[in-house]
């Protein structure tokens, strides 16, 4: 059964009036053709202007078709778990077909496709969620940032970090292609900072951490591997004279957390693996738009929005997107080498001694990458670890829905504090 949909003219008018859509279709000549069961809708574009009319399949036209029952969960006011990502893959296994769409065109206008589906869906309860950052103006936020020079692979790296709070030191590692801004909400949570000294850093080549000046890094492709990545938190801990800090990381950082517990239990008292797993299946080469010079940063940012929960506050989801849009383009692609190819502890996870380093694994319900199921698998392989399934959040819990995440995090922090 097909969902109830507006007619094509009304849909095109809604797209033409939408500010986000107008930005997403810039320079596009062609259009979007959507087959929802027996219902055909879409719009045409001419040099970035949306007009009524369902285009015929052909040059410059993105076509997505599928049975009504496949579209129905995607077009629900609050899409169920993993439904959002189906339009981004639009492959046979999702039940949707992309036809003969040019792969490059698909990546270039992925943000427009995503927004079109949102407009076809209608209002989402999260769209109107208001968030505010209370307090008098002007004011300073809590963290104070500095630059620290450390040696990594024989080179002097200028690494940015910021910190707030007092008590047990905890290093915070961001996701692939992002930066420490993702942890900003935790810095403003006194129930955390009254007990923990939070230290969030930007990986080299990310955020405010510039590449080393003595290395001709611009002559070769950036590619993150575990040997380099594992050095970073250990070098920071030594330079900052931290005594067996705790470590929390998300995505790439969540995988790193488990590797630190495996390889360096003497260095860390506890690790928190956000969206962690023993291995992440996937092929980096499938993500053409994350590296192609004719695709802007907005494409990968739009995809990251779909890894968030549909109930997370929209301003924070868009903040996730903004962080990804502002990153150095090769950084995300290069980080995925570690995430999808280099990291695999399936044969070694049982060696982790949680009596030396406590291990806490937390996965968001709506994360299609580091899934709850993958986190449970890791938990079962690591004796003495804990696992938390976080309802109502996705791949970026600390940024997309900080209030919900802090509620899940506090009991874990209580356990870490009890070990001190």
Per-residue pLDDT of 150-183, as tens digits, reads 999 999 999 999 999 999 999 999 999 999 999 9
Q: Which residues contact 268 (CB under 8 A, 6 or more apart)?
A: 244, 245, 246, 247, 260, 261, 357
Spatial contact of 280 and 340, defined as CB atoms under 8 Å apart:
yes
Give the span between the Cα atoms of 332 and 352, in whole angstroms. 29
Q: Taking the mean position of all CA atoms in its chain, how far away is CA 415?
A: 27
321 and 269 in a common domain = yes
- Domains in the chain, number: 2
User: 124, 152, 178 — which closes off a domain?
Assistant: 124
> Final residue of a domain: which of 59, 93, 124?
124
Tell me whether residue 389 is in a domain: yes
The answer on 200 and 149 residing in a single domain is yes
Among 297, 327, 298, residue whose Cα is nearest residue 181: 327
Please answer whether residues 100 and 57 qualify as being in contact, where contact means their C-beta atoms are separated by less than 8 angstroms.
yes
CATH of residue 73 = 3.30.1050.10
Do the Cβ atoms of 271 and 334 come closer than 8 Å? Answer: no
Q: In this predicted structure, what is the pLDDT of residue 288? A: 77
Domain holding 78, by residue range, is 8-124
Partners of 157 in beta bridges: 150
- Any domain includes 2: no
Say if residue 96 is in the same domain as residue 178: no
**0.85 exceeded by the pTM?**
yes
Residues 63 and 159 in one domain: no
- CA–CA separation, 374 vs 203, rounded Å? 25
What the block records as the tokens of 265 is: 């239990």
301 pLDDT more than 80? yes
Between 124 and 356, where is the model more confident? 356
Q: Are residues 237 and 381 in the same domain?
A: yes
What are 202-216's pLDDT values in tens digits? 999 999 999 999 999
Query: Do the Cβ atoms of 222 and 330 come closer than 8 Å?
Result: yes
Q: Between β-strands 39-46 and 49-51, what pairing exists: parallel, antiparallel or unpaired?
A: antiparallel
pLDDT, tens digit (0-9, with 9 covering 90-100), for 356-397? 999 999 999 999 999 999 999 999 999 999 999 999 999 999
Domain CATH number, residue 327: 3.40.50.1820
Q: Are residues 59 and 98 in the same domain?
A: yes
Q: Which of 143, 175, 147 is nearest to 323 (CA)?
A: 175
Respond yes or no on whether the N-terminal peptide bond of residue 138 is cis (omega within 30° of 0): yes
Residue 196 is classified by DSSP as: E
Output the six-digit token pair for 304. Answer: 């990251």
User: What is the rounded distance in angstroms from the CA atom of residue 318 to the CA atom of residue 302?
Assistant: 9
What average pLDDT does the segment 276-281 reach?
A: 97
Position 134 in a domain: no
378 closest CA partner among 248, 254, 291: 254
Contact assessment for residue 245 and residue 271, using Cβ atoms and an 8 Å cutoff: no
Could you tell me which of 236, 111, 254 has the C-alpha nearest to residue 176?
254
């Amino acid at each position: 059964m097909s969902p109830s949909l507006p007619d094509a003219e009304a849909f095109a008018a809604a797209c033409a009036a939408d500010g986000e859509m107008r930005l997403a279709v810039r320079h596009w000549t062609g259009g979007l053709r959507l087959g929802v069961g027996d219902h055909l809708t879409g719009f045409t574009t001419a040099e970035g202007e949306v007009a009524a009319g369902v285009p015929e399949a052909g040059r410059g036209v993105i076509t997505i078709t599928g049975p009504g029952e496949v579209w129905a969960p995607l077009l629900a006011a609050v899409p169920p778990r993993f439904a959002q990502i189906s339009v981004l893959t639009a492959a046979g296994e999702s039940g949707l077909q992309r036809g003969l769409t040019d792969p490059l065109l698909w990546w270039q206008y992925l943000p427009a496709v995503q927004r079109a589906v949102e407009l076809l869906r209608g209002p989402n309860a999260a769209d109107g969620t208001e968030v505010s950052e209370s307090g008098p103006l002007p004011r300073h936020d809590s963290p104070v940032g500095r630059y620290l020079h450390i040696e990594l692979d024989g080179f002097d790296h200028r690494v940015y970090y910021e910190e707030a709070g007092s008590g047990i030191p905890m290093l915070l590692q961001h996701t692939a292609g992002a930066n420490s801004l993702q942890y900003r909400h935790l810095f403003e949570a006194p129930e955390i900072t009254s007990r923990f000294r939070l230290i969030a850093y930007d990986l080299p080549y990310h955020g405010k951490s510039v590449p080393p000046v003595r290395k001709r890094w611009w002559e070769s492709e950036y590619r993150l591997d575990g040997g380099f990545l594992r050095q970073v938190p250990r070098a920071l801990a030594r330079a900052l004279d931290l005594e067996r800090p705790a470590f929390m990381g998300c995505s790439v950082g969540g995988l790193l957390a488990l590797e630190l517990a495996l390889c360096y239990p003497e260095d860390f008292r506890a690790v928190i693996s956000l969206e962690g797993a023993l291995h992440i299946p996937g092929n980096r080469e499938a993500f053409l738009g994350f590296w192609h010079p004719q695709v802007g940063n907005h494409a990968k940012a739009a995809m990251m929005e779909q890894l968030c929960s549909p109930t997370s506050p929209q301003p924070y989801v868009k903040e996730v997107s903004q962080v990804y849009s502002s990153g150095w383009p090769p950084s995300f692609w290069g980080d995925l080498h570690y995430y999808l190819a280099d990291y695999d502890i399936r044969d070694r996870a049982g060696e982790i001694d949680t009596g030396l380093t406590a291990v806490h694994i937390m996965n968001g319900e709506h994360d299609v990458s580091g899934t709850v199921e993958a986190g449970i698998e890791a938990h079962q392989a690591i004796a003495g670890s804990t696992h938390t399934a976080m309802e109502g959040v996705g791949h970026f819990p600390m940024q997309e829905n900080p209030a919900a995440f802090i509620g899940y995090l506090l009991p874990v922090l209580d356990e870490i504090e009890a070990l001190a």
